[in-house]
A and B are shown apart, each in its own frame.
Chain A
Amino acid sequence: MNKFRRSSAVWQSRPSALWHVRRLPPALSGISRTLALALLAVSCAGESNGGPNALRIPLINDPILNPVIAPDIGSVLINKVIFSALVRPDENLRPVPDLATSWVTSEDGLQYTFNLKPGVRWHDGEPFTAADVKFTFDQIVDVKSGTRLRSDFAAIDGVDVIDSLTVRFRLKKPFAPFLALLGYNAGIIPAHKFRDLKLTDATEFNRSAPVGTGPFRVVQAASGSAIVLERNPQYHGNAPALDQVIFRIVPDVNAQVAQLLAGELDIVPIEPANLPSVERAAGVTVVRNPIVQHVYVGFNQMRPLFKPALVRHALDYAVNRQAIIDGVLKGAADLPRGTIPMVLTDFFDASLPAPTFNPESARTLLANAGWRSGNDRKLRNAAGKPFAFTLLVDKGNPTREQAALAVQQDLRQVGMDASIETLEFATLVRDRVLPGDYDAVLIWWTTPPDPDQYAYYASGQDNNHVRYVNARADSLLAAGRATLDSVQRRDLYNQFQRVEMTDPPVLVLFYPRELLAVNRRVDGLPALGLRDALRHAERLSVKR
């Protein structure tokens, strides 16, 4: 799950007629000019635009500069620039070579043999070899190492070094998402930096002196302030266009927007609520691209209320998603058709009808499920019990809080009584969702660029927090992750999407688009979400 959404590639470049003085009331402007003059001596020196060709991106907190143990989205973003992976997603989210030049999959799908790019060097000059790949994945699957990637690679049985530039992965069973996951968060780390050191104890590495094979290397890390990355002159791919990438630590999103407007940041992920202030600004453009994420209301199916598929089907009709997309998200989202995001065009069945808002159909289905509305227009079952539950939403994100309110009001129209409870995200997850102590929750999944959702929606799986049980879905999802042929895979996921139409595991509200406010001078950002775009950091440039 992450805070960021994704971006697009409509980059207009314009000479930097930056930051015009905006109109202020004369009096205010007079006072501020006087003050400004008084402070001119201090202020004139050192304008920040004359330095090296740098791109500046905000992070909300100090990152951990190791992709294996990094727990948060900020760390994930910066690590994609520092650490190359075996493959990376292209603009259609298909895995293409990065540190691996080619690979062979065995007939039974149980072995992947990768040929590694020769002559690649770590940032410290050491040669990159198959032993580093093995080391990285040995750490990833070792639950004691502090790994945060283990669930992605649970299918790995072992990794063998064939020779210094060939490495073979043995899988426990065929696992179709494997390549996509290799290009997702699994940056390769150098074995030689961890000879007698646990990953979590390598303070210097994790904090200020990481060593990767990516297009930029860390040259300066100031806690709470910024991480400065410089072009890696030995980069194994095309020479990076930028001199520097600077990740500035700016915890507050309003302060990030202010810094963007002041020309101190170049790419800022924003909330719909920030749109007016950035859209007015000269020199800033907003891009909205779909991301591999679905935002949904999950209904706890351990609760008798939500067990029947009919009820969940009815709920699907009861919510006016388009109104939420237009009103709350300012259009920065797409109507869903099930849980597989639309951006996975290789697998998504776009021929399915978009969900319709139809309270009448909802009432009919609910009546079939035994819920009838009384004189007070409230739904009651045969025992006279009202249809009442609590909807959890995380505190502090206005977009999701407003979406929850909209859902509450729509459900009231069909006679349901949903009360909203807002909780801090950590509390919501740890105290309520993971133990299953909730009725309904408005939450989201950011998934790897692959349609595999076995872990989320197959019965009894670790991440199936809604406790969805559907035998047909189970077998489709199990087959989907075990089938390597992409045409067959597509068919399986299209069938899964159809199952979801009548027995929805969750009420998908929308597929969000990442809102990025970007300085118009920025060029070369691929048509991918920031998360995936940063895997191509060498292509980014900033016009002076």
Chain B
Amino acid sequence: MTAFLLRRAAHALTVIFVVCTVTFVLVHLAPGGPAVLADPKLSSEEQAAIEERLGLDRPVVMQYGLWMARVARGDLGESFLYEVPNRRAIGERLPNTALLAGTALALSVLLGIPLGLWSAFKRGGWVDRVVSGLAFVAMAVPTFWLAIGAIFVFAIAIPVFPAGGASAAGEAGGLIDRLRHLVMPAIVLAAVTTAELLRYMRSSAQTALHQPFVRVVRGKGVQERIVAWRHVLRTALIPVITALGIQLPRLIGGAAITETVFAWPGLGRLGVQAALGRDYPLVMAITLFVSAAVVIVNLLMDLLYLWIDPRIRLEA
């Protein structure tokens, strides 16, 4: 086990290093450069002063070396756009991202897995048909459109939910207020994930259903509900967990569209704005953070396989 974890940790560090290096090169190659310098009113002297202050006057390789040295000391640097430490910029957004991603993930799991299982058992039934239809719609409709549509229906035409934000700013936003603001973005964000999980679950459960052990269990006269929840689900869950592991980074860092339309103060939006503004240190900090999160989640997923399916063995 220790050997396995060590090996995985080394693997993780390599992955993070490669991701960060590639990101560093890409953001520096992107045209335009930092938006804080893209002000046609700045004189060349002011440009030079800003570049010096931000360390942009140094060669790119040296900038990278300095960045790595800071990261090694646990310092994520300062944002160009906001003049705050990146650790703080990320920290301020993280709870919102965790709340939105967590809710969306919970919704997806709670809806996608049982419905997928049901669809597999009652193939062609009305639940299967309705749910599959909805899943295709969720996957086909662009998130942006879904979000704007939801706002126009549920915030403007029938004003039951707020059109945006994480709370009613300026008021003592209690739990109910936070929940009201969470409903629409969480559902929109969960739509695609739920649809994908559902599709995975359905096909994976169908495969499991045709395996000999299911026939054996059924032959023993075990109730269908127990067949589904105890035997089929467990086997069918392995590929679904893999899919879930793929979804998670998308929920943490990639919810930018949902966050933008609903003005949700999350990490994805912060990342997109950092990239658009060529806020090099913030882009790097977010990349580092999200890639670390992904690597850790994947490790947890691997451990989860063990628990779900004892047939799987660690290969150190």
Spot the interface stretch: B150-158, B188-196, B247-255. B150-158
B223 on the A face (CB < 8 A)? no
Report B250-267 residues with CB < 8 Å from chain A CB: 260-266
A433 on the B face (CB < 8 A)? yes
Contact with B along A30-71 (1 / 0, CB 8 A): 001101100110110110100110101000011010000101
B202 on the A face (CB < 8 A)? no
Are A146 and B41 within 8 A (Cβ)?
no
CA distance A79 to B142 in the complex (A): 37
A249-B263, A250-B164, A255-B263 as given contacts; A71 in contact with B39, CB under 8 Å: yes
Contact with B along A241-269 (1 / 0, CB 8 A): 00010101111101100110111100000
Q: How far is the CB of B286 from chain A (nearest CB, A)?
A: 13
Contact residues in B for A305 (Cβ distance below 8 Å): none
B2 on the A face (CB < 8 A)? no
Contact residues in A for B34 (Cβ distance below 8 Å): 426
Q: How far is the CB of A277 from chain B (nearest CB, A)?
A: 10
A207 on the B face (CB < 8 A)? yes
Are B156 and A261 within 8 A (Cβ)?
yes
CA distance A251 to B277 in the complex (A): 13
Contact of A203 (CB < 8 Å), options: B84, B158, B162: B84
Q: What count of chain A residues pass the 8 Å CB interface test?
A: 75
B174 on the A face (CB < 8 A)? yes
Contact residues in B for A255 (Cβ distance below 8 Å): 148, 151, 163-164, 260-263
Report B37-54 residues with CB < 8 Å from chain A CB: 37-46, 49-50, 53
Are A248 and B165 within 8 A (Cβ)?
yes
Are B270 and A252 within 8 A (Cβ)?
no
A22-B157, A46-B180 as given contacts; A143 in contact with B162, CB under 8 Å: no
Chain B, residue nearest A58 (CB): B263
CA distance A423 to B276 in the complex (A): 13
Q: How far is the CB of B29 from chain A (nearest CB, A)?
A: 12
Q: How far is the CB of B57 from chain A (nearest CB, A)?
A: 13
Are A223 and B93 within 8 A (Cβ)?
yes
Are A258 and B151 within 8 A (Cβ)?
yes
Are A36 and B160 within 8 A (Cβ)?
yes
CA distance A259 to B163 in the complex (A): 5
Contact residues in A for B316 (Cβ distance below 8 Å): none
CA distance A150 to B43 in the complex (A): 9
A203-B84, A228-B169 as given contacts; A43 in contact with B177, CB under 8 Å: no
Contact residues in B for A200 (Cβ distance below 8 Å): 53, 83
B269 on the A face (CB < 8 A)? yes
Contact of B165 (CB < 8 Å), options: A146, A147, A226, A428: A226
Contact of A32 (CB < 8 Å), options: B81, B84, B153, B260: B153
CA distance A300 to B260 in the complex (A): 37
A166 on the B face (CB < 8 A)? no
Are B176 and A45 within 8 A (Cβ)?
yes
Q: What count of chain B residues pass the 8 Å CB interface test?
A: 71
Contact residues in A for B155 (Cβ distance below 8 Å): 258, 262, 264
Contact with A along B137-180 (1 / 0, CB 8 A): 00000000000100111111111111111111111011011011
CA distance A290 to B26 in the complex (A): 42
A381 on the B face (CB < 8 A)? no
Chain A, residue nearest B263 (CB): A250
A43-B180, A258-B164 as given contacts; A429 in contact with B53, CB under 8 Å: no
CA distance A20 to B53 in the complex (A): 53
Contact residues in B for A69 (Cβ distance below 8 Å): 83
CA distance A56 to B277 in the complex (A): 26
Chain A, residue nearest B33 (CB): A430
Contact residues in B for A463 (Cβ distance below 8 Å): 40-41
Chain A, residue nearest B272 (CB): A251
B36 on the A face (CB < 8 A)? yes
A224-B92, A244-B170, A258-B151 as given contacts; A251 in contact with B40, CB under 8 Å: no
Are B260 and A249 within 8 A (Cβ)?
no
B32 on the A face (CB < 8 A)? yes
Are B176 and A424 within 8 A (Cβ)?
no
Are A61 and B32 within 8 A (Cβ)?
no
Are A203 and B270 within 8 A (Cβ)?
no
Are A143 and B278 within 8 A (Cβ)?
no
Report B264-307 residues with CB < 8 Å from chain A CB: 264-266, 269-270, 273, 276-278
Contact of B171 (CB < 8 Å), options: A48, A249, A429: A48
Chain B, residue nearest A222 (CB): B265
Are A203 and B263 within 8 A (Cβ)?
no
CA distance A423 to B161 in the complex (A): 37
A424-B31, A430-B37 as given contacts; A61 in contact with B81, CB under 8 Å: yes
Chain A, residue nearest B82 (CB): A62
Chain B, residue nearest A71 (CB): B36
Contact residues in B for A151 (Cβ distance below 8 Å): 41-43, 46
B88 on the A face (CB < 8 A)? yes
Contact residues in A for B89 (Cβ distance below 8 Å): 223
A195 on the B face (CB < 8 A)? no
Contact residues in A for B42 (Cβ distance below 8 Å): 151
Are B93 and A143 within 8 A (Cβ)?
no
B134 on the A face (CB < 8 A)? no
A144 on the B face (CB < 8 A)? yes
CA distance A228 to B170 in the complex (A): 6
Are B170 and A225 within 8 A (Cβ)?
no
Contact residues in A for B206 (Cβ distance below 8 Å): none
Contact of B41 (CB < 8 Å), options: A1, A252, A424: A1
CA distance A258 to B157 in the complex (A): 11
CA distance A244 to B81 in the complex (A): 26
A19 on the B face (CB < 8 A)? yes
Report B175-225 residues with CB < 8 Å from chain A CB: 176-177, 179-180, 183
Are A429 and B158 within 8 A (Cβ)?
no
CA distance A434 to B35 in the complex (A): 13
CA distance A200 to B262 in the complex (A): 31
Are A262 and B162 within 8 A (Cβ)?
yes
CA distance A40 to B179 in the complex (A): 12
Contact residues in B for A424 (Cβ distance below 8 Å): 31-32, 276
Are A1 and B164 within 8 A (Cβ)?
no
Are B270 and A42 within 8 A (Cβ)?
no
B235 on the A face (CB < 8 A)? no
B102 on the A face (CB < 8 A)? no
A91 on the B face (CB < 8 A)? no
A220 on the B face (CB < 8 A)? yes
A397 on the B face (CB < 8 A)? no
Contact of B176 (CB < 8 Å), options: A29, A46, A48, A250: A46
Are A52 and B170 within 8 A (Cβ)?
yes
B77 on the A face (CB < 8 A)? no
* New contact pairs (6) apart from A61-B273, A249-B265, CB-CB < 8 Å: A22-B156, A36-B160, A222-B169, A225-B96, A255-B262, A463-B41
Q: Spell out B's residues near A (CB within 8 Å).
A: 31-46, 49-50, 53, 81-85, 88-89, 92-93, 96, 148, 151-171, 173-174, 176-177, 179-180, 183, 260-266, 269-270, 273, 276-278
* A-B contacts, 17 listed (Cβ < 8 Å): A1-B41, A29-B158, A40-B160, A42-B176, A64-B83, A71-B39, A143-B45, A225-B169, A251-B273, A252-B260, A252-B261, A254-B261, A259-B163, A424-B32, A426-B38, A428-B32, A433-B40
Q: Spell out A's residues near B (CB within 8 Å).
A: 1, 19, 21-22, 24, 28-29, 32-33, 35-36, 39-40, 42-43, 45-46, 48, 51-52, 54, 56, 61-62, 64, 69, 71, 143-144, 146-148, 150-151, 200, 203, 206-207, 220, 222-226, 228, 244, 246, 248-252, 254-255, 258-259, 261-264, 423-431, 433-434, 443, 462-463, 465
